Each structure stands twice: as C-alpha cells, then as structure tokens.
Amino acid sequence: MYLARVIGRVVATRRTPGLEGVALQWIQPLDASGAPSGRALVACAVISSGPGDLVHYVDGREGALACPRPFVPVDAAILGFVEEVARAEREER
C-alpha cells in the first residue's frame, strides 16, 4: 500500500462489465517526504476522493478486491483519505 496525491479524474463511458459506477482517478505516488515518486497511474476510487486529496492506495490483485464487484479488471484502488502524516519531528498535511 502506498501514499499518493489525486491529480485528476478519468471519464470513460464505455467500460468492461463490472466497472459501471466506479470512479477512475489519476494519482501520483509520493515518497516519504511527500514529493512525487515514480509514474502517475489510474486507480479506482472506492471513497469520494477528488483532485488535490492525499490518499493511500493498493495495487495488484488487491485493487480489484476493493471494488464493489471483486472480479473486475482493475490493478489499483484508492482505499482511504490521508488526513495527516505525523512524524517524530514534524507534521504535514
């Protein structure tokens, strides 16, 4: 599971069966300091996240398990909002 920032939405009306009603969003993975790390990807959102939100997500087979129907062709899903990351020395939003 990883930390990421939602950077956009993806709209695709024609989809594979099972993906109806699932929100697709662009997310940018972040490193431990909150800086962008690696390539952005498209993930399903099982929470009501939107651009700008700090979130955590899961990839691989577990992405599909998070969806309302678990047998869907999905390889990443946003699992939750991150309100804050509390560190020993400082806190960031």
Name the residues that contact other proteins, by CB under 8 A. 1-3, 29-32, 37, 46-47, 56, 58-66, 70, 77, 79-88
We find the least distance from the C-beta atom of residue 90 to other proteins, in angstroms, to be 9
CB 16 within 8 A of CB 75: no
d(Cα 36, Cα 14) in Å, to the nearest integer? 31
Among residues 8 and 29, whose Cβ is nearest to other proteins?
Answer: 29
Both tokens of 35, joined, read: 């800086």
Q: Which is nearer to other proteins, 20 or 31 (CB)?
A: 31
